[in-house]
Amino acid sequence: MQYNTKSKPLRIGIVGFGHLGQFIYRHIENERNKAIYDFDLVFIWNRSKDIFSTFDKELNQELIVETIEEGLQRSPDLVIEVAHPNIIEEYAEKILDACDLFIGSPTALANESIENSLRKKTIESGHVVYIGTGAFWGAEDIGKMNERNTLCSLSITMKKHPDSYKLNEPLNSKLMEQRIKLGDQPGEIVIYSGPVRELCRLAPNNVNTMAVGATVASNLGFDRVQGCLIADTSLRDRHIVEIELSGPETIVNENDKVKFHTKTVRSNPAEIGAVTGTATLLSFVSSIKRAQGRTAGIHVV
């Protein structure tokens, strides 16, 4: 795949200034101390302005904008959304009228009408939607199988400490009830098992990895990619992501049928309560560097 190599730094806008947004901001600002750097930050927006006060003089106040529309007037090349799926629903098309968009909340694409409208918008505007692989290990190889239509099944299991989940109802109540039953005993709680599309609605802050998988495996999609969400009280220092897939059967030794199968287990260091593991933060920055030079559409990078 050929990438567009620009001589000038990419002009970046950040929408959302939580843990991930702050990490991206610090990375970009640190990179500017180098002789050659990739990004110029042109604006930052967050729904609540209170968060900016914690930075004091460390944060360049001139970067803060009151509205996303004000940020777009600064002519960014790429807007990075790391806020909430609702922001994609409300602002994605407006952003695509002005520049490329990097979606940090791909669970928004579980809404089929949003996915379809964004694909259409990229064609109309000539701009591109990017999604980072994040914690979805093996995205490129799975994408190749999807292109050849040899991906038969894909399941993604995520395991975290219960305090690392931010769930909508009824999953939140289910988790609380099961924790009470478990008491002080260690153990796993299966919060959900089923199609990824429904899970994206019920746990939009926790299953971006699954949304990435459903986007990469587009021939299966959000309805046929399976997701399993597990709370494990023993996971006090890491998140676990298990990706399991199957391919077609092949006849070997004249009459033996063998089905292609692979499973990966990713252990990502993370503190209790953290939604995103440390390795995912670095993966996100690497994906931003790849977010240029693609044709219209939605691309996982």
Q: Which distant-in-sequence residues (6+ apart) come within 8 Å of 132 by Cβ?
A: 102, 104, 212, 283, 284, 287, 288, 291, 300, 301
Mean pLDDT in residue range 243-252: 93
Q: Are strands 10-15 and 256-269 parallel, antiparallel or unpaired?
A: unpaired
Does the pLDDT at position 54 exceed 80?
A: no
DSSP secondary structure code for residue 38 in this structure: S
What is the pLDDT, as a whole number, of residue 52?
Answer: 87
Ranking 72-81, 133-142, 154-163, 165-174 by mean pLDDT, the lowest is 133-142
Q: Which of the pair, 34 or 100, is modelled with greater confidence?
A: 100
Does the pLDDT at position 2 exceed 80?
A: no
Nearest in space to 133 (alpha carbons), one of 122, 119, 147, 143: 143
Phi and psi, residue 157, nearest 5°: -115, 130
Q: What angle do CA 47, 105, 143 make, to 5 degrees?
A: 160
- 243, β-bridge pairs: 156, 264
Give the number of other CB atoms < 10 A from CB of residue 198: 14
Q: What is the mean pLDDT of the chain?
A: 92
Tokens 């991930």, located at residue: 20
* Coil, helix or strand at residue 106: helix
Q: Which distant-in-sequence residues (6+ apart) come within 8 Å of 36 by Cβ?
A: none
What is the DSSP secondary-structure string of 223-285? HHSEEEEEEETT-SSEEEEEEEEEEEEEEETTTEEEEEEEEEEEEEE--TT-SS-HHHHHHHH
In the chain, what percentage of residues exceed pLDDT 90? Answer: 76
Ranking 10-24, 159-173, 221-235, 280-294 by mean pLDDT, the lowest is 280-294
Domains of the chain by range and CATH?
10-135+281-300 (3.40.50.720), 139-274 (3.30.360.10)
Tokens of 273: 């309560």
What is the pLDDT, as a whole number, of residue 57?
Answer: 67
What is the pLDDT, as a whole number, of residue 99?
Answer: 98
Nearest in space to 20 (alpha carbons), one of 118, 108, 134, 96: 134
Residues 171 and 240 sit within 8 Å (Cβ to Cβ): no
56 band by pLDDT with thresholds 50, 70 and 90: low
**Beta strand ranges found along 114-187 (DSSP E):** 128-131, 153-160
What is the pLDDT, as a whole number, of residue 278?
Answer: 77
- pLDDT digits over 184-213, tens only? 888 899 999 999 999 999 999 899 999 999
Does the pLDDT at position 7 exceed 80?
A: no
- pLDDT digits over 249-299, tens only? 988 888 888 999 999 999 989 888 887 777 778 888 899 999 999 999 999
* Coil, helix or strand at residue 129: strand
- 103, β-bridge pairs: 81, 131
What is the pLDDT, as a whole number, of residue 3?
Answer: 45
Using left for φ > 0, alpha for ψ between -120 and 50, and beta otherwise, residue 248 falls in beta
Cα 130 to Cα 88, 157, 215, 299, distances in angstroms: 12, 24, 11, 5
Residues 95 and 79 sit within 8 Å (Cβ to Cβ): yes
